[in-house]
Amino acid sequence: MTVSDDPQTEQLDKSTVAKGRGITGKVRAGGRDLAASASTAGPEGETGREPSRTMTGLGSSLKAAADRPHADGAGGDTPLNVTPAVPGTGDATVSIDVSRVKKSKDKKKKKKSAAAKAADPARPAAPDGYVLPNAPDTEAASPDPAGPTAEGTAPRETAPPGPAAPTAATKKRSKDGADDDGKPLGTSKAVETMFRNAVRAELDIIALAATKANIMISLNGFIISALMISGAFLFNSSPGFLFPAGVFLLTSAASIVFALLAASPERADLIASIWTWGRDVVARRARLRDLRDYVMRGRDARPPDELNLLIYEDRVRMTRDEHWDRMQALLRDRDGIYHRMTDQLYWLGQMANHKFKLLNVSYTVFRWGLLASVLTFFTVKSTVALFPGLSGERPVRLQNLGIAEFSDIYEPSAVQQLPDGRILVVEDEAKRAVSVMTLAEDGSLVEDSTADLRLTRAFGRKLSDLEGLSIDQTENIYAITSHSATAKGERSPDREQLLRFRISGSTVGDIASVTNLRDALAGDAALAEALRGAAGEPVDMGKLNIEGLAFHQQTGQLLLGLRAPKAGDRSIIIPIRNPGAMFDEAAAPAFGAPILLDLQDGGIRALSFDPVLGAFLIVNEIEGDDDNKVSQLWTWSGDPAVAAEPIALPEIINLNNVESIDSVMVHGEPRLLIMSDEGDPKKNRPARYMMLDYGQLGG
């Protein structure tokens, strides 16, 4: 067969159909369209050879394939069937006929089987074309030449000395590596995969340790910050909380220290080095200044020839030139690379083990510290409850506090104790309209400005110039604004409200309001006639200013105490007979007969019912000895026919502009709470108050 040798006009576009079985391609040769086939069988009948190695051009490559001898000894006999393709296309298909190759391979297997039979007559015959498994190795030991065996079998002939023929197993071992001769096991790819996965796993473990350390650092940092910020208030009010809180604080601090050590980029042997140094210092084998030597002793003590380029602690000890020389030497040493990689893997494992040991201590300290804190808290509380004398606290005896000062209340205009014992205060200023305070153990008032702001906003309306407070037997709270005109003489809806509501905890609800009270007072003819008859002249309700409010438990009426107007020189109290219908049914206010009291020409500044005295308390201002206004306390039975009586209270002279008074219970003991409206928010001067024992009141 003749094929063109001109590689300039021939081009083969190869695509492998199956390794060792066939090749298809397109051939263009000198303008002729050809088709050809060739065997790729090697000299030994192997079909695994890449076809591209035998066909790089149609000329020389196909010739080489055609001239190559077959396994059965027939050389150059491989048919190359050249068939013109479709004219005009310029293409041809190249394929491999594998029938001859397969026959050649089968012949070779038969020859090898026959050779094995000749070498071992005792071995049973195998079918044609197959090789029995577990074929005896030619290097196997020969039988005892002394004679027959114990079973009487004839001694086997030994193979002549010489190198053993390689078997399939021997070939596989020589390809993949020896198993017990000291050479590396496994393929290079398997070893690289093993190292890659192992290093990645160690790095993931170290990253996991850092994440867990960050959790403990954040958690314990928050606990320590919270205890340090709020601890002063908690310890002051609850000394029994000091011991369990101290336990929790110390254990959290210890936990965060170990977590920081785990997260820090320290050496794997740092703690052990410090421990060894401390032990040697105690044993007087080392001095304090030897600490640095102990810390740096670990890897620095290794000889230079053992330094590992893959470990940063060793790498930083080298100069740049030394690092380059060692790197070149390492890249030429395959076994050395594996050794260094193994050393690095071991070092990463040591680092991970070091971090997780510290993390284990951190989590253990936190876990047991939390449990110890809870147990300590309950132990302290139980012990104090069972043995009150161990607390070291003595019952607080309430005394006259004299004059105390608020911290964030400037213009208190009314006060009322709530059913839960807290103190409700209202102010003239709309931004600080409502405040709720608690009672300390010594009877002083404790403010909470944040809760007060939320409570004020909960009303959902502007409350300007609140002046009076009271409460009924169903725990409904009443509040009233002054209903007076502004400084410019104008009326304002914010200043003309009568409210009813409830307070539960830090919330306010059931809010109802009456906004036509001023018009009702001005338009009530019977009220106007009664006041004119008592005063001898008309009373101008245009000067209305309400500053007192009290609920009369016996009559169910709301009493309005007027600062202005007055009926001549007497103060006016106007009863509202239908407060329930006014709020629940939107009924018009129904007024009772006005009550006129002689309070030395002073309008009413505060009005409340005192259950201890069984009478109403009234506060107003009168002329003093130096023509100055001084506050005066009065008691009134509630009977319009009975005059009010002054109460001698010299201490009250020290309070100017008293507008709030109420009877309160402080830890089971009655006290009289009096507040003055003398603060000034612009000057940051809070108002003052007094908590008095009833024994200090005189007639």
Q: What is the CATH number of the domain that holds 428?
A: 2.115.10
Residue-wise pLDDT for 264-318, tens only, equals: 776 556 667 777 888 888 888 888 877 777 666 654 555 666 777 787 777 777 8
Among candidate residues 386, 415, 430, the one where a domain is terminated: 386
Last residue of a domain, one of 61, 79, 103: 103
pTM of structure: 0.48
pLDDT reading at 180 higher than 60: no
79-126, pLDDT tens digit by residue?
444 444 444 544 444 444 444 444 555 555 666 565 555 555 444 444
Averaged pLDDT for residues 347-361: 84
Q: What is the pLDDT of residue 112?
A: 58
User: What Å distances lie between residue 673 and 159, 317, 639, 654, CA to CA?
Assistant: 123, 79, 24, 15
SS3 annotation, 98-121: CHHHHHHHHHHHHHHHHHHHHHCC
- Check: CB of residue 458 under 8 Å from CB of residue 503: no
Residue 464 shares a structural domain with residue 348: no
More confident residue, 7 or 183: 183
Mean pLDDT across 201-226: 85
Coil vs helix vs strand at 147: coil
Report the share of the chain in percent with pLDDT over 90.
9
Q: For residues 3-31, give the mean pLDDT.
A: 39
* 392 part of a folded domain: no
pLDDT for residue 507: 86
Closest CA to 365 of 511, 488, 256, 217: 256
pLDDT at 15: 37
Residue 338 lies in a domain: yes
Mean per-residue pLDDT, 53-68: 45
Per the structure, the complete domain to which residue 314 belongs is given by 190-386
Mean pLDDT along residues 247-271: 78
Name which of 351-355, 389-393, 593-597, 646-650 the model is least confident about. Answer: 389-393
* In contact, 697 and 647? CB cutoff 8 Å: yes
> Mapping DSSP to helix (H, G, I), strand (E, B) and coil, where does residue 176 land?
helix
How many angstroms separate the Cα of 380 from the Cα of each of 174, 181, 242, 252, 605?
77, 72, 10, 20, 50
Q: Is the pLDDT of residue 498 over 90?
A: yes
Same domain, 424 and 351: no
Least confident of 228-232, 244-248, 364-368: 228-232
**409 and 360, same structural domain?**
no
Which pLDDT does position 549 carry in this prediction? 92
Residues in the chain, how many? 699
416, part of any domain = yes
Task: Report CA-CA distances (Å) from 225 to 230, 241, 371.
Answer: 9, 17, 20
Residues 6+ apart with CB under 8 A from 643: 597, 598, 636
Question: What average pLDDT is seen over the chain?
Answer: 72
| Average pLDDT for 223-239 | 67
571 domain-assigned: yes
User: Do residues 342 and 426 both lie within one domain?
Assistant: no
Six token digits for residue 335: 């076994």
**Dihedrals φ, ψ of 406, to 5°?**
-75, 170
pLDDT in tens, 18-42: 333 344 443 444 444 444 444 344 4
Return d(Cα 630, Cα 620) in angstroms, integer.
8
* 315 and 199 inside one domain: yes
Q: Decide which of 603 and 182 is more confident.
A: 603
Confidence of residue 620 (pLDDT cuts 50, 70, 90): confident
Nearest to 604 by CA among 557, 542, 560, 558: 560
425 with 366, same domain: the answer is no
Residue 288, pLDDT score: 80
The conformational region for residue 555 under phi > 0 = left, psi -120 to 50 = alpha, else beta, is alpha
- Per the model's pLDDT, the better-predicted residue between 584 and 159 turns out to be 584
Give a yes or no: residue 507 inside a domain: yes
Where does the pLDDT of residue 407 fall: very low under 50, low under 70, confident under 90, or very high at 90 and above? confident
- 382 & 456 share domain: no
Residues 275 and 414 in one domain: no
Question: Is the residue at 394 inside a domain?
Answer: no
**pLDDT computed for residue 116 by the predictor:** 52
- The count of domains in the chain is 3
So what's the pLDDT on residue 469? 92
Instruction: Read off φ and ψ for residue 128, nearest 5 degrees.
Output: -60, 135
Residue 64 lies in a domain: yes
Pair 408, 365 in one domain: no
Please state, in angstroms and rounded to a whole number, the distance separating the CA atoms of residues 461 and 450: 18
143 in a domain, yes or no? no
Token pair for 188: 């290079």
Q: Which residues on neighbouring strands pair with residue 164, listed in sequence order?
A: none
Domain shared by 315 and 345, yes or no? yes
Q: Could you tell me if 327 and 426 lie in one domain? A: no
Closest CA to 605 of 654, 657, 679, 656: 657
Banded model confidence at residue 601, pLDDT cuts 50, 70, 90: confident
SS3 call for 375: helix
452, 583: one domain: yes
Q: What percent of the chain has pLDDT over 70?
A: 64
Q: Point out the domain boundary residue: 60, 86, 103.
A: 103
User: How high is the pLDDT of residue 398?
Assistant: 41
Predicted confidence (pLDDT) at residue 369 exceeds the cutoff of 90? no
Burial class (CB in 10 A: 0-12, 13-18, 19+), 566: buried
The predicted pLDDT at position 590 comes to 92
**Which H/E stretch holds residue 326?**
helix 320-331
CA 131 to CA 71: how far, in whole Å?
A: 18
Number of neighbours of residue 465 by Cβ within 10 angstroms: 26
For residue 13, give the 3-state DSSP assignment: strand
Note the pLDDT of residue 27: 41
Can you give 504-530 as a three-state secondary structure string? ECCEEEEEEEECCHHHHHHHCHHHHHH
Q: How confident is the model at residue 591 (pLDDT cuts 50, 70, 90)?
A: very high
| Structure confidence by residue, pLDDT tens digits, 526-583 | 889 888 888 888 888 888 999 899 999 888 899 999 988 988 888 999 999 999 899 9
Quote the CA–CA distance of 38 and 49 in Å, as a whole number: 13
* The dihedral formed by the CA atoms of 574, 579, 583 and 589, expressed in degrees to the nearest 10: -40
Of 552, 675, 664, 543, give the one whose Cα is nearest residue 605. 675
* Residues 534, 570 contacting (CB under 8 angstroms): yes
Peptide bond into 148 cis (omega under 30): no
